[in-house]
């Protein structure tokens, strides 16, 4: 028998590491959702700044915040997996500790998922810099995405994703240092599942100079490794996919 979930609960999956500058506003964006049946499951990856102190202060006012501290620094994938293990909700929504949500995000996604009978949803994003300044407004997204499309495009931002575990199961992310989110979306869509998007910027996604995702060459290498190693795609097809992926990534960030 599989895990039993709280069917009305959305569990917000949040890894944190040295995010004292952003964590309060990020948490407030989750706490202020118009959909109120939410728990926030934070796994801190051994922060050395005031991140955990800020979380503990907010916990005094908001009991729906759960925080677990890793015994050692293990990376975002391991932190998300621990949060998935602790999460009680049927629905899991990913939120990185330096991104922000618009108030209606969860409500609109759950509505879409029920209307489309789909277990995977995402939204458009707008990009901000390290000082919360808008650096790129919303770019139109494709409102349906399958496995084949995801092989060639960077359409799904982690902090925009909501997943129905009752349908897709008690999944975990692969333990790789980078690209674990992309590898997970491919795995979940591999069997023909369709993901649906909301073409509205319901997430503010931070581009920071020291983040793993800011190194685009590293990201392209990760896509190559995930497709050829995890997905078993032949090198010829993978070259085509990676070139297309790189083009769309450049278009997404710089055009």
DSSP assignments along 114-155, one per residue: HHHT-SEEEEEEEEE-TTS-EEE------SEE-HHHHTT---
Q: What was the pLDDT predicted at 175? A: 85
The pairing of beta strand 100-101 with beta strand 38-44 = unpaired
pLDDT digits (tens, 9 = 90+) for 82-102: 999 999 999 999 999 999 999
| Residue (of 93, 95, 104) closest to 201 by Cα position | 104
Dist CA 136 CA 129 (whole Å): 9
Helix intervals (H) in the chain = 23-31, 51-59, 76-86, 105-116, 147-150, 165-168, 180-189, 216-225, 235-254
CATH 3.40.33.10 fits 6-210, yes or no: no
Q: Is 133 exposed, middle or buried (0-12, 13-18, 19+ CB in 10 A)?
A: exposed
Buried residues in 240-249 as b, exposed as e (16+ CB within 10 A): ebbeebbeeb
Give 255's pLDDT tier (boundaries 50, 70, 90).
low
C-alpha to C-alpha distance for 254 and 186, rounded to whole angstroms: 25
3-state secondary structure of 176: coil
CB atoms within 10 A of CB 251: 12
Q: pLDDT value at position 210?
A: 54
pLDDT digits (tens, 9 = 90+) for 168-225: 999 999 987 778 999 999 999 999 999 999 999 999 999 876 554 446 677 788 888 8
Tell me what pLDDT residue 232 has: 92
Dihedral in degrees, nearest 10, Cα atoms 41, 46, 48, 50 = 10
| Lowest mean per-residue pLDDT among 44-48, 54-58, 61-65, 245-249 | 245-249
For residue 3, what pLDDT is reported?
85
DSSP letter, residue 194: P
pLDDT over 90 (residue 253)? no
CA distance 84 to 63: 18
The pTM of this model reads: 0.92
Average pLDDT over residues 21-31: 98
């Amino acid at each position: 028998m599989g895990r039993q979930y709280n069917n009305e609960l959305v569990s917000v999956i949040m890894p944190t590491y040295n995010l004292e500058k952003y964590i309060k506003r990020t948490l407030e964006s989750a706490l202020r959702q118009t959909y109120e049946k939410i728990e926030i499951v934070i796994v801190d990856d051994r922060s050395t700044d005031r991140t955990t102190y800020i979380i503990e202060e907010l916990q005094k006012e908001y009991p729906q915040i759960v925080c677990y501290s890793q015994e050692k620094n293990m990376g975002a994938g391991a932190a998300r997996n621990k949060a998935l293990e602790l999460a009680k909700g049927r629905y899991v929504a990913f939120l990185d500790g330096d991104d922000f949500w618009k108030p209606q995000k969860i409500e609109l996604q759950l509505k879409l998922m029920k209307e489309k009978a789909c277990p995977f949803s995402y939204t458009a994003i707008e990009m901000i810099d390290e000082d919360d300044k808008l650096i790129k407004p919303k770019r139109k997204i494709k409102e349906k995405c399958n496995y084949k499309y995801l092989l060639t495009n960077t359409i799904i931002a982690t902090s925009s994703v909501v997943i129905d575990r009752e349908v897709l199961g008690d999944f975990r992310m692969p333990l790789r240092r980078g690209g674990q989110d992309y590898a997970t979306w491919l795995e979940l869509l591999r069997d023909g599942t369709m993901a649906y998007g909301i073409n509205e910027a319901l997430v503010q996604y931070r581009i920071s100079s020291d983040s793993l995702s800011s190194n685009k060459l590293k990201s392209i290498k990760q896509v190559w490794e995930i497709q050829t190693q995890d997905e078993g795609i032949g090198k010829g097809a993978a070259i085509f996919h990676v070139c297309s992926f790189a083009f769309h990534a450049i278009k997404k960030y710089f055009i």
